[in-house]
Amino acid sequence: MATINWIGNAHATKQIDTITVADTWTAADTVTLTMNGKDIIITIGDGTTTAQVAESIRDAWNASSRIDGTGSNTNTSNAGGQEFGEFSEATAVIYPTATSVVRIIGNVAGRPFTLSVAQTVAVDGTATEATAQAATGPWHWNNGDNWSAGAVPANDDVCVFRDNDVPVKYGLPNGSLEVTIEQWQSYTGQIGLPPINRDNASKPYFEYRQRYVRLDDAGTGTNIAHRFGIGHTGTGSSLINLKHSTLKCSPIVFNTGSAQQQLSQYALNICCTANTSTLDIINGSVDYSSQDGSTSAFVTVSQVAGDSRSVSGTVAAAAITIGGGTALVGGTAAISAITLRGGTLRLESQSGTITTLNANGGTVLCINIGTITALLVNAGSTFDARNAVAGFILTQGDVYPGGRFLDPYRKMNSASSVVQLHFDTNDIQFGATVGNPIVIAT
């Protein structure tokens, strides 16, 4: 076990792929270049030599629209590569000493791409793709020069991100590493990738590279204590993506950077799949939903301030405590208890039963829920169903002096009754027909 610091010091190199054209090509043969599910299909006309096929691949890649067969041969394409953001990140050239070889060269050193090539031929024409030089550089987790120890992290290491702004975007661990992340507020780079790539603002695309740091239980730990936003110096990171599978985690979020909409709606996007995991949010912008293809399973969540979101982020019978800030909760899992002491809780698409919702302060916005078994609205708190999009079931509700219950459009279906402990009708709004009696207690 070692503590190592991210320094982002590696030399950047461009990715270079080659497409080697060989054997016999005939009219109507095709070669297809694919990136991120988008295809450029070159159809052979009378340019059947391997050099002509290679030239057509180059021309189609670099074209701003389809090649129409009016050039040096009648070979055509369905599109031009520069129409698409993915293809526009690289340039195609003919290898100087081998006219049947196309080199695809990344435009930005350090940024990788994934290309596949396929062909449909009548005889035996081939177009073989290979990576001649892999991209690497200061943005790559898997380059040892980017870490203070001179080697990539090993199992049980503590990875410290502090006092720099170099992002970690590529070469991320993919489910075979167990480390503890310690990110300080003085680290302002991003860890992971946003859902939409906007490197070229005029040609955005859905990111196809790995977006999350994916960790597992490959080491000897039993409870991984990730920490985010440590310290009081710096503006923090505007994007961190982390998924930790199988092993219990107990992350604490002291703070985050401000989320940037061009990157992601939330600054920290975290998924822990072990159903004993816990989460404490002191402040910051946090999404702890099921993410990156896995199901979050936090059993307890505590929030002091900040802005959080959970869509299927908790295990059945979880307990959530909110002391301030804003929180969105939704999903199919039942929730044992939600305690609101301040701030705003938005219940949206929460179909799982909430056994107890205790509002001791703040506001509950009931947007779309299934059943609340027991609701307590105490002094200084509000339960607001005015914007509910559908009906909900309230088995038993108690509204105490100083509390507000707002349901003027009769979204509540009460299986029992709502107990109001005072007579301030401005604070209690029921629809014309509730369906069960309202008990006024003194």
Written as tens digits, the pLDDT of the chain (442 aa) is 899 999 999 999 999 999 999 999 999 999 999 999 999 999 999 999 999 999 999 999 999 999 999 988 999 999 999 999 999 999 999 999 999 999 999 999 999 999 999 999 999 999 999 999 999 999 999 999 999 999 999 999 999 999 999 999 999 999 999 999 999 999 999 999 999 999 999 999 999 999 999 999 999 999 999 999 999 999 999 999 999 999 999 999 999 999 988 888 999 999 999 999 999 999 999 999 999 999 999 999 999 999 999 999 999 999 999 999 999 999 999 999 999 999 999 999 999 999 999 999 999 999 999 999 999 999 999 999 999 998 899 988 889 888 999 999 889 887 666 666 654 555 666 665 445 555 655 5
- What pLDDT, on a 0 to 100 scale, did the predictor assign at position 427? 66
Contacts of 13 (CB under 8 A, 6+ apart): 109, 110, 133, 134, 135, 136, 137
- What pLDDT, on a 0 to 100 scale, did the predictor assign at position 262? 80
- What pLDDT, on a 0 to 100 scale, did the predictor assign at position 390? 87
Of how many residues is the chain composed?
A: 442
Instruction: Report pTM.
Output: 0.94
Count of CB atoms situated within 10 Å of the CB of 161: 24
- What pLDDT, on a 0 to 100 scale, did the predictor assign at position 413? 81
- What pLDDT, on a 0 to 100 scale, did the predictor assign at position 441? 57
Contacts of 84 (CB under 8 A, 6+ apart): 35, 38, 203, 205
The pLDDT tens digits of the residues spanning 328-360 come to: 999 999 999 999 999 999 999 999 999 999 999
Residues 438 and 58: their CA atoms lie apart, in Å, by 76
The answer to whether the Cα torsion of 155, 160, 164, 167 is positive or negative is: positive
- What pLDDT, on a 0 to 100 scale, did the predictor assign at position 416? 63
The pLDDT tens digits of the residues spanning 121-130 come to: 999 999 999 9
List the Cα angle 134/135/137 in 5-degree steps.
Answer: 135
The pLDDT tens digits of the residues spanning 39-54 come to: 999 999 999 999 999 9
Please state whether beta strands 277-281 and 298-303 pair in parallel, antiparallel, or not at all (unpaired): parallel
Side-chain half-sphere of 292: how many Cα atoms within 13 Å?
A: 26
- What pLDDT, on a 0 to 100 scale, did the predictor assign at position 433? 47
Residues 369 and 214: their CA atoms lie apart, in Å, by 32
